[in-house]
Amino acid sequence: MKERIAIIDGIRTPFCKSGGKYKTLQADDLGAIVLKELVARTNLDVNEISEVIFGNVAQPIHAANIARVITLKAHLPESLIAYTVQRNCASGMEAITTAANKILADEADVIIAGGTESMTHIPLIYNEKMTQLFAALFRAKTLWQRLKVLKTFRLGFLKPIIGLQQGLSDSVIGLNMGQTAEILAREFAITREDQDRFSLRSHRRACNAIQQQYFKSEIVPVPIPPKYNQICSEDDGPRAQQTIEALQKLRPYFDRLTGTVTAGNASQITDGASAVLLMKESRAQAMGYTPLGYLKEYAYAALPADHMGLGPAYATAKLFDKSQLSMDAFDLVEMNEAFASQVIANERAFTSKEFGQKNLGRSEALGEINPDLLNVNGGAIALGHPVGTSGTRLVLTLLRELRRREKQLGLATLCVGGGQGAALAVEVN
Amino acid sequence: MEKAFKLHVDTQGIAELIFDKPDKSMNVFSADVMDELGRHLEDLAYAQDIKVLLIKSAKKNCFIAGADINEIEEVKSRVRIEQMITMGHDVFSRLEKLPYPTIAVIDGVCLGGGLELALACTYRVVTDHAKTSLGLPEVSLGIIPGWGGTQRLPRLIGLTQGMQMILSGKAIDARKAYKLKLADAIFPKEFLADSLLDFAKKCQIYKEQDKIIKRRKQKGLISFFLEKTPFGRSMVFKNAKKSVLAKSGGHYPAPLAALKVLQRSFHIDIYDGLKIEIEEVVKLVDNPITKHLISLFHTGEELKKDPGLLNAHDRSKAIRSTAVLGAGIMGGGIAWLLSKKEYPVRIKDISWNGIAQAYQSAQGIYNQLLKIRKIKPHEVNRKMHCLSGTVDYSGFKQLDIIIEAIVEDLTIKKQIFNELEQHIRSDAILCSNTSSLSIKEISENMVNPERFVGMHFFNPVNRMPLVEVIPSDKTDPDVIVTVVSLLKQLGKTPIIVGDCPGFLVNRILLAGMTEALHLLKEGVDMEFIDSVIEAYGMPMGPFLLADTVGIDVAYKVILLLEKAYGDRMHAPDFLREMVDLDLLGKKNKAGFYLYQGKTKQRNSRSSIDVISKKGTSKSSEEVLDRFIFSMLNEACRCLEENIIRKPHYLDMALILGTGYPPFRGGLLKEADSLGIDVIIKKCEHYSQSVHSRFTPCELLYKMQRGKHTFYQSKGDIPWQVAIN
């Protein structure tokens, strides 16, 4: 049997709404903050680190291979190798599982894996027409030629392509993520009421967790440049005053006429970073660490892109096949709340024998998820979903909550744009 | 004697004169080197086989670093100086008049006399190497360029730029030199040989020569007006004089002399100009201020090399990660300093709001640097990422050095260090930035007091170069060496001082400050006292200084010193009243003075009479005497008690730590020029007429008996040499 991968400790920045508190911090800045803090909190000798792996979705143009940029900004040794992974919303998990594989293959001993995202800084870009105009302008040699090119300019050329919108769309099927959530709502007959109730619960649970200071030990406060007169030490997404009525007033965002998915029952657009320290169990013992927990098993699965929200069901089925685990073995479940309808669809898919037989090739249903054990401290609807980071945060938050409750086994799972799912089984002892 | 120059001529007529001063890492001009160069040039004037002459250096990263400063310092007579300078002029004129083109090949530092040689060449080429720098630093030593620099430089690059380089004494890099047309070509260092060959060939072709000369022409109407018209020139000189006077307070003769030379000679024939240059240099070299500045330069060089111990081997440990405890003004400043050199700094404070303040002060200093373009935004971002905050001791196990800068309270400090010792590695170094508490007492209950040392920065950290390093009797020598070497890397000047209340600088300065308070109490006018002390050359009068430091802070320190030294550091009662009345100085806009924006005026609203009312008069002589002699007496006690190792270190510490005027050479230097007899006589006089605190200390009598001076004491030195 292969050795377990120990997750020594983890850290994250507070999650803050995009365009808000972190508007002066780039994704690499956020990453550097968690990286150096994790090294400090684990009292790790920087020379022990073999590699740094970060997940990041939007990949800012000023920081190609953002993992290396983060490593250098955190003032870790120049000799330290680092690379970036991208599996859309699972990028922060991909960093962990890639690291685990490297360690198990004896390619590395000690890896810091994490995720970072600044949705604030996903750029607006010139559209095709404007880009072509520029290209023609660069080619033009004489003043006359240049003027001729300029004559073709129309005001519409200035309409930008919003990078964030494009990023959250699937160009293969021509749908954006919200539209895939609408498909699930219809197929699983999830009402607007169901979705809004779920969202309200997410906010309530997150607010409670913040009030009880459950997140405090996983968060590093962030001094905000350039004035540094503000220290951000709490997630700013959860709304203590949220009411069901207010949620019900919102207009559907993706399908204005007949839709049910609103900005209120979808995940928030958020910035943040998170990182964990990984090594073999034996190495952790040798270094005198008491790990936060262990990675037991993981699986990624693919499915039709327009049903990408069901990724958790597909990936969890694969995970069960790989590990002989079953649903009732899990003490807690963290399922990323991309959309309320998407989580509810999974809940229903998990309990449906028909779905198990038809889509997952199983004779029985996957098993019911106890709503009291699902996202007990709220999820992305309240806390936000910095796409490259969420995967790491789910694992971190899950392990901490398992420890707090003195429980053993947890499932962290999420859906991935483009039609994939990820599922990680983690355990405390 | 081994030769400093080697001449080599190849078959194509390209000659190379290579400067390689034997047994030195740098090339410098001394009398014999100059003599040798002169003889070479005499022969070269008649060499028929040479088409072009390259002057090169065999030293790495150095063309010519200037003239040998020791020689300038040692010269005693005016006649000898004149000889030396005339000789240089002759040699460089000979170089200038060679019948074929000459090229100075500058790869590395090219300063003072080195640049003056290069200026006498037909062409100058530079490499783009980072070490390549060109400048005339003479004014910072109290002299002016004396080998034609004042003549050839402004004629080559224009009056404004030339004057700027001469008056500031600052060196410029290769790119700037090329831009200013000081260099005719810039080559990549790695391909210097090939590029040089090309250039040497070009220099023999008339058309190419013409191109190079044309490039040097000043362009533009403004420059024509400022340089070529008498009215424009007089404007340039008037402004320059104003800014020189503003900067130097008129205390430093060199920049004014340089201006005078330029003004008298820029528009006339160069050979007449050179005569004016000689005239002024001779006057300056004889000036005591020049001697003081050169002597301070030497002290600075000595301190740079001083590892902090008398018998030090290289035992300095590597420092990588650091921490600052307490994110106040000093803590923030120290954190900035460490981040500037890219040491990771963990900032620990009791609250995140405190930590935010450290971030603010660091960013504030970087903003100043950004404004004057001394740093680029991406560098600031990277350096700011050196900082991280914490309210607990997480991450402390990996730290190599921890600098404490919390509140000045012995009990709290001791408690913090006890706590700290449980969270750090056994070989981590501990420092305290205390300004007045005893290092020995702070470390009393430590488990490992041998790793602890005082490290006293001055405020503001980014501007004050001095750091007092205070070992206790238990401090491990390795720790001292490590800390000294770290501080040097941080660009500071560390000076080892003994562990006594106030240490060296504050102890001496406060002796003067309390004396000023006594004068005030006796009814002497406050503004008068400040003006007398400022006229002496101190950057601030004692009352303005007290306001700047903060009356509460000053009061606390004086109390501490009074406790230690008794009557001679007595704090008058009104100081306490001021603290009670919340007259704390600049920080709340009212102290001895009232502050409004940038202006200040006497605090006439104060209920304390000595402050608000104009006082009785005393002669400025008495005011100054009492201020200086109380400091001097205290300085002698410090020597006596072994608080400082060398008198010239003491002088340097006061100059760097209090802004004592460098043109006076130092407090003890000043004492030497007054003479021990005069000092004792005056001290005895004030001891009788004012207070017994002026009674000369034992060392002064000892020196009188042995006819010693502070500088150049030979044989039996009346103060002990510290051994640590």
- A46·B398 Cβ contact <8 A: yes
The confidence band for B724, taking pLDDT boundaries of 50, 70 and 90, is: very low
Tell me the C-alpha distance between B122 and B131, whole Å: 23
pLDDT in tens, B371-386: 999 999 999 999 999 9
3-state secondary structure B600-644: EEECCCCCCHHHHCCCECCCHHHHHHHHHHHHHHHHHHHHHCCCC
Nearest Cα residue to B632 out of B688, B674, B685: B674
Q: What is the pLDDT of residue B714?
A: 59
The nearest CA of chain A is from the CA of B36 a distance in Å of 49
Whether the Cβ atoms of residue A113 and residue A84 lie closer than 8 Å to each other: no
Q: CA–CA distance from B454 to each of B305, B458, B472, B518 (Å)?
A: 21, 13, 8, 31
Q: Is B68 strand, coil or helix?
A: coil
Q: Which two tokens stand for residue B583?
A: 């007259």
**Chain A interface mutation, best of B341, B367, B385, B394, highest count of A Cβ atoms under 10 Å:** B385
Distance CA B132, CA B114 (A): 12
Taking the CA of residue B502 and the nearest CA in chain A, the distance in Å comes to: 34
Q: What is the pLDDT of residue A10?
A: 98
Q: How far apart (Å, rounded) are the C-alpha atoms in residues A346 and A202?
A: 16
Among A40, A44, A228, whose Cβ lies nearest the Cβ of B388? A40
Which has the minimum average pLDDT: B166-170, B281-285, B689-693?
A: B281-285
With an 8 Å Cβ cutoff, is A166 touching chain B? no
Q: Residue B218: is its pLDDT beyond 80?
A: no
* pLDDT tens by residue, B469-497: 999 999 999 999 999 999 999 999 999 99
CA distances from residue A227 to A340, A362, B92, B373, B595 in whole angstroms, order as listed: 38, 57, 55, 19, 26
Q: Quick check: B653 and B304 in contact, CB under 8 A?
A: no
Rounded percentage of chain B residues whose pLDDT exceeds 70: 97
Q: Considering the candidates A16, A207, A232, A415, report the single residue annotated as catalytic.
A: A415
CB contact under 8 Å between B363 and A221, yes or no, is: no
Angle B340-B343-B345 (CA atoms, 0-180°, nearest 5)?
100
Query: How far does chain A reach from its first CA to its final CA, in angstroms?
Result: 17
In three-state secondary structure terms, B666 is coil
Q: CB contact, 8 Å: A41 with chain B? A: yes
Token pair belonging to A269: 């657009």
Percent of chain B whose pLDDT exceeds 90: 75
Give CA–CA dist B519/B325, Å, rounded.
39
Name the residue with tokens 């007169």: A229
How many residues belong to chain B?
A: 724
Cβ of B586: how many Cβ atoms within 10 Å? 17
B270 touches chain A (CB under 8 A): no
Give the distance from CA B395 to its chain's centroid. 36
Residue in A85, A43, A97 with CA at minimum distance from that of residue A290: A43
Identify the H or E element spanning B173: strand B172-173
Say yes or no to pLDDT of A162 above 90.
no
Give yes or no for B352 touching A (CB within 8 A). Answer: yes
- Quote the minimal CA–CA distance from B19 to chain A in Å: 39
Q: Do residues B301 and B145 lie in contact, with contact meaning Cβ atoms separated by under 8 Å?
A: no
SS3 content of chain B, % helix, strand, coil (to 5): 55, 15, 35
Residues of chain A with C-beta less than 8 angstroms from the C-beta of B341: none
What local confidence, expressed as pLDDT, does residue B617 receive? 80
Q: Which amino acid appears at position A319 of this protein?
A: L
- Residue A145 to residue A138: CA distance in whole angstroms: 10
- Long-range Cβ pairs for the range B210-218 (8 Å, 24+): B212/B123, B212/B184, B212/B185, B215/B181, B215/B184, B216/B156, B216/B181, B216/B184, B218/B158
- pLDDT for position B708: 87
Using CB atoms, pick whichever of B342, B356, B396 lies closest to residue A229: B356
> For residue B722, what pLDDT is reported?
41
Give the 3-state secondary structure of A110-130. Answer: EEEEEEEEEHHHCCEECCHHH
> Can you give the pLDDT at residue B597?
85
Of A141-145, B113-117, B414-418, least confident by mean pLDDT is A141-145
Q: Name the one residue in this structure whose structure tokens are 């528009």.
A: B267
| Cβ–Cβ gap B344/A229 under 8 Å | no
**CA distances to A119, B96, B207, B213, B374 from B218, in Å:** 52, 22, 20, 11, 27
Residues of A in contact with B384 (CB under 8 A): 225
Q: Mutate which of B388, B391, B396 to test chain A, going by most A C-beta atoms within 10 A?
A: B388
DSSP of A235-301:
-S---TT--HHHHHHSPBSSSTTT---BSTTBPPPEEEEEEEEEEEHHHHHHTT---SEEEEEEEEE
State how far the Cα of B552 lies from the Cα of B51, in Å rounded to an integer.
74
* Torsion angle in degrees (nearest 10) through CA of B619, B623, B629, B632: -140
What is the pLDDT at residue A24?
96
Q: Helix, strand, coil proportions of chain A in percent (round to 5)?
A: 45, 20, 35
φ, ψ for residue B673, nearest 5 deg: -70, -30
Residue type at B200?
A: A
CB A322 within 8 A of CB A316: no
How far apart, in whole angstroms, are the C-alpha atoms of residue B637 and residue B643? 8
CB A199 within 8 A of CB A381: yes
Q: Which residues of B touch A41 (CB under 8 A)?
A: 394-395
Contact A383, A375 (CB under 8 A): no
How far is Cα B472 from Cα B450, in angstroms, rounded to an integer?
Answer: 8
Of B100, B98, B68, B95, nearest in space to B84 by CA:
B68
Q: Which of A169, A202, A176 is nearest to A261 (CA)?
A: A176
For A:17-36, CB contacts with B below 8 A are 29, 32-33, 36
Task: Give the mean pLDDT of A386-404.
Answer: 97
Q: Which long-range contacts (CB under 8 A, 24 or more apart) does A344-348 make?
A: A344/A188, A344/A190, A344/A194, A344/A195, A344/A198, A345/A184, A345/A185, A345/A187, A345/A188, A345/A190, A345/A309, A345/A310, A346/A309, A346/A310, A346/A312, A346/A313, A346/A415, A347/A371, A347/A374, A348/A188, A348/A190
Which chain B residue lies closest to A42 (C-alpha atoms)? B395
pLDDT, greater one: A124 or A289: A289
- pLDDT above 80 for B66: yes
The structure tokens listed for A166 are 């494009």
CB contact under 8 A, A231 and B355: yes
- pLDDT(A17) > 70: yes
Helices (H), ranges, B465-614: 477-489, 505-521, 526-536, 542-549, 551-565, 573-580, 609-612
| A64 reaches B (C-beta below 8 A) | no
ipTM: 0.93
Q: Which residues contact B47 (CB under 8 A, 6 or more apart)?
A: B9, B15
Mean pLDDT of chain A: 96
pLDDT, mean of residues B428-446: 93
Distance CA A104, CA B429 (A): 39
Is A73 close to B388, i.e. CB distance below 8 A?
A: no
For residues B569 and A277, what is the distance between their CA atoms, to the nearest angstrom? 57
Q: Is B677 within 8 Å of B663 (Cβ atoms)? A: no
Mean pLDDT of A203-212: 97
The residue of chain B nearest to residue A74, with distances taken between CA atoms, is B385
Which pLDDT band, with edges at 50, 70 and 90, does B716 fall under?
A: low
Kindly list the residues from chain B whose CB atom is less than 8 angstroms away from the CB atom of residue A230.
356
CB pairs under 8 A between A and B: 61
Share of chain A above pLDDT 90, in %: 90
Q: What is the structure's pLDDT at B310? A: 59
pLDDT at B410 over 70: yes
The C-alpha R_g of chain B, in whole angstroms, comes to: 29
Q: What is the pLDDT of residue A203?
A: 98
Q: Residues of A with CB below 8 A from B352's CB?
A: 221, 223, 231, 233
Contact between B344 and A36 using a beta-carbon 8 Å cutoff = yes
Start-to-end Cα distance in chain B: 41
Residue pair B470/B453 in contact by the 8 Å Cβ criterion: yes
Q: How far is B58 from chain A (nearest CA, A)?
A: 34
**Residue B719, pLDDT score:** 66
Q: Residue B245 burial by CB count (10 A; 0-12/13-18/19+): exposed, middle or buried?
A: middle
Listed by number, the residues of chain B in 389-418 with a beta carbon closer than 8 Å to a beta carbon of chain A are 389-390, 394-398
Whether the predicted pLDDT of B615 surpasses 80: no
- Specify the DSSP class assigned to residue B195: H
- Nearest CB among B355, B384, B395 relative to A40 is that of B395
Residue written as tokens 């004494």? B169
Interface test with B, best of A21, A69, A75 (most B CBs within 10 A): A75
pLDDT exceeds 50 at position A166: yes
Q: How far apart are the C-alpha atoms of B543 and B612, rounded to whole Å?
A: 13
Query: What type of residue sits at position B617?
Result: S
Active-site annotation of B, residues: 456
Q: Touching check for A43 and chain B: CB below 8 Å?
A: yes
Phi-psi region of B712 (alpha: psi -120 to 50; beta: other; left: phi over 0): left
Q: How confident is the model at residue A376 (pLDDT cuts 50, 70, 90)?
A: very high
φ and ψ at residue B599, rounded to 5 degrees: -100, 155
Minimal C-alpha gap between B464 and chain A (Å): 24
Q: What is the mean pLDDT of chain B?
A: 91
